[in-house]
Amino acid sequence: MKTLPRLLVCLLLLPLGKADAQETFAPLISENCVAVVHIDLRKVELDNVKSFLQKTGEDLLTQLGFDERSFNATARELSFELEKLDMLVRPTFNTITKELGIQELAIIVDMSLVEHGVPPLFAVTWKDKTAQEFETFYKALAATWSDYGENAPALENTNFVKTENFLLLAPGNAREKERIADWAKTLAPVTDSPILDALKSVAGAEIKVAAAIPEQVRQMLRSAPMPPDVPAEVRNVLLFAAQRIDWVSAAISLAPFIGTEPPENSDVLMTVKMKNAADARMILGMLENLIEFGVNSAQFMMNMEMRDAEFYIPPLAFQFAKGLLRTLLPDVEEDKLIFRIKANVGGPPQVVIGTAGIGTALLLPAVQAAREAARRMQCANHIKQIVLAIHNYHDTYDALPPLYTVDTDGKPLHSWRVLLLPFIEQTALYEMIRLDEPWNSPHNRQFHSFRVPVYTCPSNPGGGCCYSAIAGHGFVPNTKGDLRRGEHNFTRISDGTSNTLAIVEVRDSFNWMDPTADVDLEELLKGINGRGRVGSFHLGGINAGFFDGFVRFIADSIELEILRALATPSGGEAVSL
């Protein structure tokens, strides 16, 4: 599939004829066609593209207030990068356009091919072309790919199927090539269909995008089960749209690249044709309700996430989000929804930048809260992986891992974290460590800087290990000569694995190999996020793993007696969280 986007990058620069897609590519559009992209770039010149991008970049630097030194340095770098891009594209561009005279490109998505695993087809006009011209075309593409170095896609994995008037390209194997060839031979083009109407609606644009939903697809959507966790508000919009949309079209003008004035109605981004005017009004109302539902849900979840923390997201941020999303709503014109660039978003660049800055400032707390929620969830997942590794360790050795192993003199050698490495997909690292030498021996010291992702909380800005056992309770130091077998197993946890802490977070991170870094009960009972080491970079508490494999968030307001009961595996206390 890597060939597909690279091929598009190259072919997008082809100068194409002025013919309309519904005429030129009509022989490739069947009743099973669901999408067509047609590109007309005949007026585009690479020099104009470079000039436009250079000027646009320099205008932005001026609007941002860059001083002369910074402006000149940045503009030079921009020019250098554009020159590199030009050197990459121009040889292939000239070969294909001037030597071969290819004038049009389309991308066709046909359900009868998609059902058999064939990706979208690239189609170029190819009438009366010779085998030698095909070889020239192939070599031009290959020359461009070679500049990608090791990441260059293999053109030999691309299918080239030649018909009387077109060259069809798609990644795939020999079987898929045969399917494409059979499809082309038995193709039954249509003369009247929603997708042709969609193409006609954007006939004058340099880039046209059209999509439709054939009846066979509607039938599939009617019977397809909807995932149970999809909210009703979302489900209703999807089901209604799938059954009532006739076609969708989008037009993209390349006027800025070719030095001409934009055409009329160039602010139109997309048109959605419904079956009737009532459907258009109905789906607009559903979209408005969806914005209200989505933002209100986000507000509720963020407030729940932060309920135990001294963190407040003002209602203004969510009202701003609703207003921002409503600017994206379409206008209704009879049976069509018209998505436009709103005029009131325009104006001087400084105003746009200022508005964007205010919006960012208002939404920043919400964004930060969402990111921290994601990091806290990832942290909890790390702890869960550690506890699952403890279970796998127990299954292998019929014992819990020791808090640390010892040498013949009883001195600590290695932490339980080292012993768990094979059970967290770190076998290669484990096999390099010398278990019969101390963790800080000259040989083992080289691994101190190794980062084991599962042992690091993503919210910790400094990195380092953040996860500790409770020394002498969940795990106990080894006093035997066996370097891997601990002295206790799950039978020691008579209070129940669901009531006994295995792993807690600590604020002061340490080296993951250190066998003496784990906190003890006395340290734990100084409180969470209090005077001791136990704490986290999450507001309001810590993630903690229990021996049954579950991870819970424990608030820093937890009573110390409950914390003591959770830490002791056989204290006989009754605990409820």
Could you tell me if 337 and 285 are in contact, meaning their C-beta atoms sit under 8 angstroms apart? no
Is the same domain home to 319 and 391? no
**Model confidence at 352, in pLDDT bands (50, 70, 90)?**
very low
- pLDDT value of position 467: 94
363 part of a folded domain: no
What angle do the packed helices 232-244 and 277-305 form, to 10 degrees? 160
Same domain, 521 and 497: yes
Structure tokens at 301: 């979840």
Query: Is residue 357 in some structural domain?
Result: no
Whether pLDDT at 386 is above 90: yes
pLDDT: which is higher, 404 or 301: 404
Average pLDDT across the chain, whole number: 79
pLDDT of 263? 54
DSSP string, 264-286: TTTTEEEEEEESSHHHHHHHHHH
User: Do 155 and 284 lie in a common domain?
Assistant: no
Q: How many domains does the chain have?
A: 3
Buried b or exposed e, range 188-226, using 16+ CB within 10 angstroms: eeeeebbbbbbbebbeebbbbbbbbbbeeeeeeeeeeee
Query: Which residues have a Cβ under 8 Å from the Cβ of 110 and sit 6 or more positions away?
Result: 30, 32, 33, 34, 121, 183
| Residue 378 confidence (pLDDT) | 83
Position 293 scores a pLDDT of: 83
Same domain as 200, residue 53: yes
In a domain, 367, yes or no: no
Assigned token pair, 206 = 């340099």
Structural domain containing residue 125: 1-212
Is pLDDT above 70 for 489?
Answer: yes
Q: What is the pLDDT of residues 318-330, one digit of tens each?
A: 888 888 888 888 8
More confident site: 439 or 146: 439
Single-letter code of the amino acid located at 168: L
**Within this chain, do residues 293 and 412 fall inside the same structural domain, yes or no?**
no
Outline where 67-211 has alpha helix (H): 68-94, 111-114, 131-146, 174-186, 194-200
Name every residue whose Cβ is closer than 8 Å to that of residue 282 and which is 6 or more positions away in sequence: 240, 244
- For the ranges 19-33, 258-272, 286-300, 355-369, the maximum mean pLDDT occurs at 286-300
User: Do 34 and 153 fall within a single domain?
Assistant: yes
For residue 33, is pLDDT > 70? yes
Q: What is the DSSP letter of 444?
A: G
Burial 459-469 (b: 16+ CB within 10 A, else e): bbeeeebbbbb
Phi then psi for residue 271, to 5 deg, are: -120, 130
| Tens digit of each residue's pLDDT (9 = 90 or more) over 406-427 | 888 888 899 999 999 999 888 9
Average pLDDT over residues 298-313: 64
Confidence of residue 9 (pLDDT cuts 50, 70, 90): very low
Q: Is residue 352 part of a domain?
A: no
Q: What are phi and psi of 186, to 5 degrees?
A: -100, 10
Rounded mean pLDDT of 35-62? 81
Residue 394 and residue 321 share a domain:
no
**Nearest 5°: phi and psi at 226?**
-90, 135
Mean predicted confidence (pLDDT) in 389-408: 88
pLDDT at position 557, please?
A: 84
525 Cβ partners below 8 Å, 6+ apart? 532, 560, 563, 564
Q: Report the amino acid identity of residue 331.
A: D
Share of the chain above pLDDT 70, in %: 79
Looking at residue 577, its pLDDT comes to 58
> What would the pLDDT profile of 153-198 be if each residue is shown by its tens digit?
456 677 888 888 888 888 777 888 888 888 888 888 888 888 888 8
Tell me, yes or no, whether 326 and 392 share the same domain.
no
Verify that 175 and 275 share a domain, yes or no.
Answer: no
Q: Is residue 457 part of a domain?
A: yes
Compute the average pLDDT of residues 352-372.
Answer: 52
Calculate ∠ Cα 466-472-475, nearest 5°.
65
Q: Tell me the pLDDT band of 439, cut-offs 50, 70 and 90.
A: very high
Q: Is residue 261 part of a domain?
A: no
577 located within any domain: no
Q: Which of the four pLDDT bands, split at 50, 70 and 90, describes residue 558?
A: confident
Question: Is the pLDDT assigned to residue 299 strictly greater than 80?
Answer: no
pLDDT higher than 80, residue 104: no
Is residue 35 one of the residues assigned to a domain? Answer: yes
CA distance 556 to 551: 16
Which of 346, 381, 405 corresponds to the end of one domain? 346
